[in-house]
Structure 1
Amino acid sequence: MGKHKKWLVSLGILSTLVFSGCGREAESATAGNNEDAETVIVGTGNVYQPFVYLDENNELQGYDVEVLKAVDEKLPQYHFQFESMEFKNILTSLSAGKVRLAAHQYAYNEERGAKYLFGEVGYNNYSHHIVNDASQGEAYQTLDELAGKKVFVVPGTEVAAILEAYNQENEDQIELVYTDAAGEILVKGLQNGTADAAVLTQYDTNKYNEQFNVTLQASDETITNDKTFFVYEKGDEELQKAVDGALQELIDEGKLEKLSEEILGADYTK
């Protein structure tokens, strides 16, 4: 894959910061098959459904977990042991050497790239679209069409930086409505005119439509183009390359697409 695009986490991921949770350990399905296998502690969250979460039996589930279990099946030299924790503690634990791999729908950005080693093979699409409620009119296709409109923006994100840079070059034509709102609050805001548009991934757009029985529509083109990656300590290229190689095999075999369809409801791997 080429150079990573430099964007921050989406509204959905940022929203997990308000939750707290206890740590939990779980081994992958292949643990113990090879007595000489090296244990890899995977740090992940526990409240970001359907990517990483604890089910009603307090068992760790989700797309990220199942992808890594499939990866582990292809790497007999390793077995993965999952430790769930609060989102804010995952990368801190990676820096402290408490975990060796971080998995929580991480998109690349310059700040993280300076501290950590990112995989080169993405496992989920992380592109962002301009989104509005269909009852408010046609879909917005470009930033130019947002002139004079109010747009929800999460402060401090790369999406915010893109819109702020656009405004600097275009005399503040877009009215930025800074908010951490997500879910029902964001959807209602798009319906009642608090904002005319937001910037969301296709997955979040589809999820909100199904969850709240609404008709959000996304632009055909994206304003960011990125994927999510697993994250490692600097210098751990051996593990990174092994996982990337297994991920590419899963892509080539169609297994990753199948997992996305089963867990996320559609193929978000491309």
Structure 2
Amino acid sequence: MFSLKRLAAVAASVLTVASLAACGAANAAPSSSDSGNDNGTITVNVGTMGTYSPYSIKNTDGSYTGYDLEVLKAVQKVEPTLKFEFHAAAWDSLFTALDANKNQMIANEIGKTKEREQKYIFTKNSYNYSTRNIIVKKGTKGISTLDDLKGKVVGGTVGDNHTKFLEEWNQAHGNPITIKYYEEDFTTVVRDVAAGRIAATVNDPNAALDKAKKQNIPVEAVGKPLSAQPVYYIFRNDAQGKKIRDKVDEGLEKLKKNGELSKLSIKWFGQDTTEESAK
């Protein structure tokens, strides 16, 4: 039979274990950034390349800027329940992190494709129109259209919209272009264009020429824009993703109405590229 002293010791031990368990539960990290803070703020981890200037830039001090990210900072001001934290990764890794819920959205000039729409959700509002041009070595003659690239090697980043556009055109015309695929940063592609290892690439001229200027790579955009497409922020297709998407959409609506979205576009590109007619 337990003595009163021993019974008291057992009871104290049980209370201690229960107290520690409660503390552990209170201090455990939330499984989702959508858990929110005490003030109702939702912390959203945003995947972005950080190397796709002028849209996504990670500075040497670890801070982030670029048009796509500055738009989100503006959204945060008009939707104070959102707090964005940016995380840089390679292109393919952006979607891997989104799938694993390490990030809850991606900001990287992303257009819609059938494959993406089957798996993810997008903002209802676009925040920019991205054009694509042929990019060649500076001074190249005789190339201004895709027809001029028949029989040549053209580089493209695996999985991006510009490469998909090139693939679709190529297939529709009997595959006259040899496409060389790159998984590295886009810098490698434009360097190979400048070195003559490939004849051209197809990409956003703002991104290509910005990178070329900063790294002194002699390339240029030629011909008329091949197309213009709206770009969106992309999210996981679940309840959390829809909640964050709706809040971001509300913010984008406010930025369009108060003119701030147009101001940001003019600041970064010298013109308002938020409407298709501007391209």
TM-score normalised according to structure 1 size: 0.68
2:147 alignment partner, SS class: helix
Q: Say whether the 8 Å CA contact 1:44–1:83 is kept in structure 2.
A: yes
Letter in 2 for 1:237: K
Aligned in 2, Cα 1:252/1:230: closer, same or farther, shift over 3 Å?
farther
Aligned in 2, Cα 1:140/1:207: closer, same or farther, shift over 3 Å?
same
Deviation at 1:137, TM superposition (A): 1.2
For residues 97-108 of structure 1, the aligned pairs below 5 Å read 97-108=101-112
1:269 to 270, 274, 278: 274
Deviation at 1:117, TM superposition (A): 1.6
Aligned in 2, Cα 1:264/1:56: closer, same or farther, shift over 3 Å?
farther
Mapped partners of 2:260, 2:230: distance in 1: 20
What residue number does 2:250 align with?
Answer: 245
| Structure 1 stretch displaced more, 181-190 or 146-155 | 181-190
2:261 to 249, 256, 270: 256
1:116 to 108, 117, 120: 120
Aligned in 2, Cα 1:173/1:266: closer, same or farther, shift over 3 Å?
same
- State the aligned residue count: 236
For residues 1-270 of structure 1, the aligned pairs below 5 Å read 36-45=39-48, 47-48=50-51, 49-76=53-80, 78-82=81-85, 84=87, 86-87=89-90, 90-141=94-145, 143-180=146-183, 185-211=188-214, 212=216, 214-223=218-227, 225-235=229-239, 236-263=241-268, 267-270=272-275
Q: Please give the per-residue CA displacement for 1:155-192, whole angstroms capped at 9, x wherever unaligned.
A: 45554444444444434322333344655543343344
Q: Please give the per-residue CA displacement for 1:114-161, whole angstroms capped at 9, x wherever unaligned.
A: 2222112122333322222341115513x2232233322334555444
TM-score normalised according to structure 2 size: 0.66
- Stretches of structure 1 lacking an aligned partner (at least 5 in a row): 1-30
Higher helix proportion (structure 1 or 2): 2
Deviation at 1:109, TM superposition (A): 2.8
Deviation at 1:201, TM superposition (A): 0.4
Aligned in 2, Cα 1:170/1:67: closer, same or farther, shift over 3 Å?
closer
Mark the structure with the bigger radius of gyration.
2
Aligned in 2, Cα 1:259/1:193: closer, same or farther, shift over 3 Å?
same
